[in-house]
A and B are shown apart, each in its own frame.
Chain A
Amino acid sequence: MVSKTLNAPNGYKVRISLKTALGEDAYEWNQSEMFFFQATMAFAMRRHFQMETYNVDNIILCVQTSRVSFWFVVTSPDNTTMLIPKADVEKAVRMSRHRINNAFLLSDRTLEFLGIYPTLAAPVNPDTPPWLIVFGVVIGAVCVGIIALLISSLLQKRRKEKGMTEDGQDEEDMQVKGVENGINLDGTYNRGFTDDDRFTKL
């Protein structure tokens, strides 16, 4: 087993986790898949440099393991002894990362280019935070409830007042007695001591 200290300044190590990504639907990684990878990388290089000359032969693979992992370097189409610098390869990969991932039914996490960090997904920032919406609904319902209760209590009070003025005699009675004694009666009004004679119509 070759350690990861392979001296390849212009190469990238690729790591693929098929079973993690696809589980039971995982396909077998064989030479045809490697060819597909070479083709995809060539496509990425073409797309980035906008040169139609990149071909599968320009993608050289080595150190393949059963992980699945391997190293690759990219040669220039004009001069096969010259390697494309790491930075350019990185730019090409970043540009087409999404296409490369989808070609293999994988994701940023399961198709890793060691050294090229995936760009973080921009967070979805809705205009109104969702919690404000829920809060708005709840507080709206509560306010409506409070106002409804307030109004109904006012209406009830008004109805009670109307009812009270109808049998005003009794009220006057009680009040007069209270005033007579000079102090606010705190006790139960005892009708046994009402001065009936005052109101008896002869």
Chain B
Amino acid sequence: MPEEGMENSKGGEERPKWNNKAEYLLTCIGFAVGLGNVWRFPYLCQIYGGGAFLIPYLIALVFQGLPLLYLELAIGQRLRMGSIGVWNSISPYLGGVGVASMVVSLCVSLFYNTIVAWVLWYLFNSFQEPLPWSQCPLNHNNTGYVEECVESTPVNYFWYRKTLNITPNMETSGSLQWWMVVSLATAWSIVYICFIRGSRPSAVYVTATFPYLVLTIFLVRALTLPGSSEGLIYLFTPDVRPLSNPQVWLDAATQIFFSLSVAFGGLISFSSYNSQKNNCERDAVLVGVINSATSIYASIPIFAILGFKAHTNYVTCLNGNILALTNEFDISDMNITVENYEQWFDSLNGTHPSRVSDLNLKTCDLQTFLDQSASGTGLAFIVFTEAVISMPGSQVWAVLFFIMLFSLGLSSMFGNLEGVLTPLHDLKLVPKWMPNELFTGKTLICLVLFLVSLIFTLGSGNYWLEIFNSYVGSVPLLIIAFFEIIAVAYIYGIGRFSDDLEFMTGHRPNIFWKVCWLVISPLMLFVVLVAYVAVQAQTHPTYPAWNPDYVNFPDTEVLPYPDWVFAICVLLSSVPVIFIPLVAIYRLICCMSGRHSEDRLHNDPNPYANEGYVVES
């Protein structure tokens, strides 16, 4: 157990420190604020009754998110080690929690950087006139447009064919797409260069603040676009009816949880570089509130632009109808306009109903267009890119948007990799024959991760990414967080933890924190975990496949996971978590076989224990 007053970590080596408080806060905020704030939260707001979604969201933030965040920052700061060292210190039987965190961070780094690579690909392609996703390419003999593109949309075609070159199902792996490999290499090189030699702290000033600048620019621009007000009204009009659906509360809790990036171990590592006398309570509240505020702030320009897109689609739909009517009845050009369309339609339908019905006019309803929702990659690479085409000066907006996504992803990658590198460093797992310099360790890890993440550049890569996202980045994190809070509240002891907090912040935690750590947060986590697993278990594991030969193309074909894939899914969810009981059993065995004292020395080394002076009497 750590002694009181322990200033240095083990060894004569000084732990690296933050240059200033701002760097620490910006890094934590950058880690927490990621792609999900921009493309998941607005979607949830949209489908769950607009402004009313803020109610479960804020409740989850206050009772679950902030306590967890405070807990992680506090133990990292107090014990001054990465995630593995910290949990080893609290109880050797719980060392598995740290290992689980590290494994999850590892897996998440793999696919997260692939998303960053996609963003880079789109960024590179935004420097063209016209934008490549704005029109369909010609087919081989220049007689017409590529059929797949005509049947869906140019934006969809560019995403599924030109970017992913996706295979029709998961069994077909396809080959490595060279342009994706190139983008992935770029993404990993940029992450690498920011990590070596501690240039990350300076990079974080840019990556953490730039998204806010871009969001503001987009906000101002979007508000001047036609249709933006409809989008905003649609977003913010609260509708409390969905709140009776428990799914809403579950999604709010999971959104807060995943958004704050707890249980990755990255936050523990970041706070371990602090001096012990730092007010981590204020830090935790600050980071949590800023994260949620960013989500809300980001949803405003997103929705303004979605409203603009809906409006544009609506006008295009109407114009198509107007042209059909004008041509059919030889009415003077531009006599029918968007405004008087209804009257013209009614009068023409009254006098010549058969001819009008033969035209097969589309029903154009603005609400239908507004209801089209998308989240995740669909929002960024399909919906938003389509909106950008209609904006004057498309290239500028596309470049800005993708640079923003890139910096959001990069700052989160820092946290992910931190959750991998710091425990490895603390464990001194780097083999003896390698020069024991962090530099080479980082190089090796980045290289290995890059090579493994080449899976996601295959034709079926997107399907695999979705699997990783759903199975690694969800249930294991909930389980780890649950064990974290139980470990600190009950095994380490809330009393001892309060003493530590008093030592660090100067005052004992007030009753709200204690109640949350002891009762509310574990209970909420447990309920969310059980509910999440129950919901997942009920839905048959299927995935939407993009198959041009599908009967209902361009709708995606819903296919079930093959058995071997499903086995991999189960593996992905359970392997990180299995370390928790495994390490506990291992320690138990070691303890029982009497090698207890030796183990203790290795696991929580005491800097004052100098073996050369053990009295041998």
Interface residues of A (CB under 8 A from B): 1, 15-20, 65-69, 120, 122-123, 130-135, 138-139, 142-143, 145-146, 149, 152-153, 177, 180-181, 183, 185-190, 193
- Residue contact B612 to A183, C-beta cutoff 8 Å: yes
Q: Which residues of B contact A67 (CB under 8 A)?
A: 326-327, 330-333
| Tally of B interface residues using CB under 8 Å | 46
Q: A131-B127, A146-B189 are in contact. List 18 more A-B contacts (CB 8 A).
A: A1-B330, A19-B333, A65-B330, A67-B326, A67-B332, A67-B333, A68-B333, A120-B138, A138-B120, A142-B186, A142-B190, A143-B189, A149-B193, A149-B197, A153-B197, A183-B612, A188-B607, A188-B608
Q: Which residues of B contact A193 (CB under 8 A)?
A: 613
Interface centre among B190, B192, B606, B612 (most CB of A within 10 A): B612
Chain A CB within 8 A of B610 CB = yes
Interface centre among B144, B185, B193, B196 (most CB of A within 10 A): B193
Q: Which residues of B contact A189 (CB under 8 A)?
A: 12
The 4 closest A-B CB pairs, nearest first, are A181-B612, A19-B334, A131-B124, A65-B330
Binary interface encoding of chain B residues 20-50 relative to chain A, with 1 for a CB under 8 A from any of its CBs, else 0 = 0000000000000000000000000000000
- Residue contact A20 to B610, C-beta cutoff 8 Å: no
Per the bound structure, the CA–CA distance linking A46 and B186 in Å amounts to 59
- Residue contact B333 to A138, C-beta cutoff 8 Å: no
Per the bound structure, the CA–CA distance linking A193 and B612 in Å amounts to 11
- Residue contact A183 to B144, C-beta cutoff 8 Å: no
- Residue contact B609 to A187, C-beta cutoff 8 Å: yes
Q: Which residues of B contact A68 (CB under 8 A)?
A: 332-333
Binary interface encoding of chain B residues 109-128 relative to chain A, with 1 for a CB under 8 A from any of its CBs, else 0 = 00000000000110111011
Chain A CB within 8 A of B182 CB = yes
A69-B330, A120-B138, A135-B182 as given contacts; A186 in contact with B127, CB under 8 Å: no
- Residue contact A186 to B605, C-beta cutoff 8 Å: yes
Per the bound structure, the CA–CA distance linking A17 and B612 in Å amounts to 97
Name the residue on A nearest B352 (C-beta).
A1
Q: Which residues of A contact B609 (CB under 8 A)?
A: 187
Q: List 5 A-B contacts (CB under 8 A).
A: A68-B333, A138-B186, A180-B612, A185-B610, A188-B608
Chain A CB within 8 A of B142 CB = yes
Per the bound structure, the CA–CA distance linking A98 and B11 in Å amounts to 81
Per the bound structure, the CA–CA distance linking A138 and B116 in Å amounts to 14
Q: Which residues of B contact A120 (CB under 8 A)?
A: 138, 142-145
Q: Which residues of A contact B121 (CB under 8 A)?
A: 131
How far apart are A113's CB and chain B's nearest CB, in angstroms?
A: 14
- Residue contact B189 to A142, C-beta cutoff 8 Å: yes
How far apart are A24's CB and chain B's nearest CB, in angstroms?
A: 11
A67-B332, A135-B186, A142-B189 as given contacts; A153 in contact with B439, CB under 8 Å: yes
- Residue contact B128 to A188, C-beta cutoff 8 Å: no
Per the bound structure, the CA–CA distance linking A65 and B335 in Å amounts to 14
Q: Which residues of A contact B189 (CB under 8 A)?
A: 139, 142-143, 146
How far apart are A36's CB and chain B's nearest CB, in angstroms?
A: 18
Q: Which residues of B contact A152 (CB under 8 A)?
A: 197
Q: Which residues of A contact B607 (CB under 8 A)?
A: 187-188
- Residue contact B125 to A131, C-beta cutoff 8 Å: yes
Q: Which residues of A contact B137 (CB under 8 A)?
A: 123
Q: Which residues of B contact A143 (CB under 8 A)?
A: 189
Q: Which residues of B contact A20 (CB under 8 A)?
A: 333-334
How far apart are B276's CB and chain A's nearest CB, in angstroms?
A: 17
Per the bound structure, the CA–CA distance linking A123 and B154 in Å amounts to 15
Name the residue on B nearest A1 (C-beta).
B330
Per the bound structure, the CA–CA distance linking A142 and B145 in Å amounts to 38
How far apart are A190's CB and chain B's nearest CB, in angstroms?
A: 7
Q: Which residues of A contact B334 (CB under 8 A)?
A: 17, 19-20
- Residue contact B138 to A122, C-beta cutoff 8 Å: yes
Interface centre among A1, A15, A130, A180 (most CB of B within 10 A): A130
Binary interface encoding of chain B residues 324-344 relative to chain A, with 1 for a CB under 8 A from any of its CBs, else 0 = 001101111110000000000
- Residue contact B611 to A181, C-beta cutoff 8 Å: yes
- Residue contact A185 to B8, C-beta cutoff 8 Å: no
A131-B121, A131-B127, A181-B611 as given contacts; A146 in contact with B192, CB under 8 Å: yes
How far apart are B188's CB and chain A's nearest CB, in angstroms?
A: 10
Chain A CB within 8 A of B10 CB = yes
- Residue contact B192 to A188, C-beta cutoff 8 Å: no
Interface centre among B196, B326, B331, B332 (most CB of A within 10 A): B332
- Residue contact A134 to B8, C-beta cutoff 8 Å: no
How far apart are B569's CB and chain A's nearest CB, in angstroms?
A: 34
Per the bound structure, the CA–CA distance linking A186 and B142 in Å amounts to 73
Q: Which residues of A contact B605 (CB under 8 A)?
A: 186-187
Name the residue on B nearest A142 (C-beta).
B189
Chain A CB within 8 A of B436 CB = no
Per the bound structure, the CA–CA distance linking A68 and B335 in Å amounts to 12
Q: Which residues of B contact A66 (CB under 8 A)?
A: 330-332
Name the residue on A nearest B145 (C-beta).
A120
Name the residue on A nearest B124 (C-beta).
A131
Chain A CB within 8 A of B373 CB = no
Chain A CB within 8 A of B237 CB = no
Binary interface encoding of chain B residues 599-617 relative to chain A, with 1 for a CB under 8 A from any of its CBs, else 0 = 0000001111111110000
Interface centre among B123, B124, B607, B611 (most CB of A within 10 A): B124
How far apart are B423's CB and chain A's nearest CB, in angstroms?
A: 18
Name the residue on B nearest A17 (C-beta).
B333
Binary interface encoding of chain B residues 437-475 relative to chain A, with 1 for a CB under 8 A from any of its CBs, else 0 = 001000000000000000000000000000000000000
- Residue contact A183 to B327, C-beta cutoff 8 Å: no
How far apart are A66's CB and chain B's nearest CB, in angstroms?
A: 5
- Residue contact B138 to A149, C-beta cutoff 8 Å: no
How far apart are B71's CB and chain A's nearest CB, in angstroms?
A: 30
Interface centre among A65, A68, A134 (most CB of B within 10 A): A134
How far apart are A18's CB and chain B's nearest CB, in angstroms?
A: 6
Contact with B12, one of A139, A180, A188 (Cβ below 8 angstroms): A188
Chain A CB within 8 A of B390 CB = no
Per the bound structure, the CA–CA distance linking A202 and B137 in Å amounts to 91
Interface centre among B182, B186, B611 (most CB of A within 10 A): B611
Per the bound structure, the CA–CA distance linking A138 and B188 in Å amounts to 12
